Amino acid sequence: MNTTPTTERLWSVRDVSAFLGIPVGTLYQWRHRRIGPRASRVGRHLRYHPADVRAWLDQKAA
């Protein structure tokens, strides 16, 4: 049995921007207003878990 966790690479702001089809600036505005997908700081970089972005999008579509 393989117990190694499978993880997707974290997405950058540009990755999420391309996935959602919105400007990078909109993501920063959403983060400031706390209405966008959950993100984390990794050092000085903002990173998103792809599953969190998809879950946020699914919640908005519902």
Q: Which amino acid is at 11?
A: W
| pLDDT score of 16 | 98
Tokens of 6: 């499978």
| pLDDT score of 62 | 82
Q: What is the pLDDT along the chain (62 residues), one digit of tens a residue?
A: 555 566 789 999 999 999 999 999 999 999 999 999 999 999 999 999 999 999 999 999 88
Nearest Cα residue to 27 out of 40, 42, 17, 12 = 17
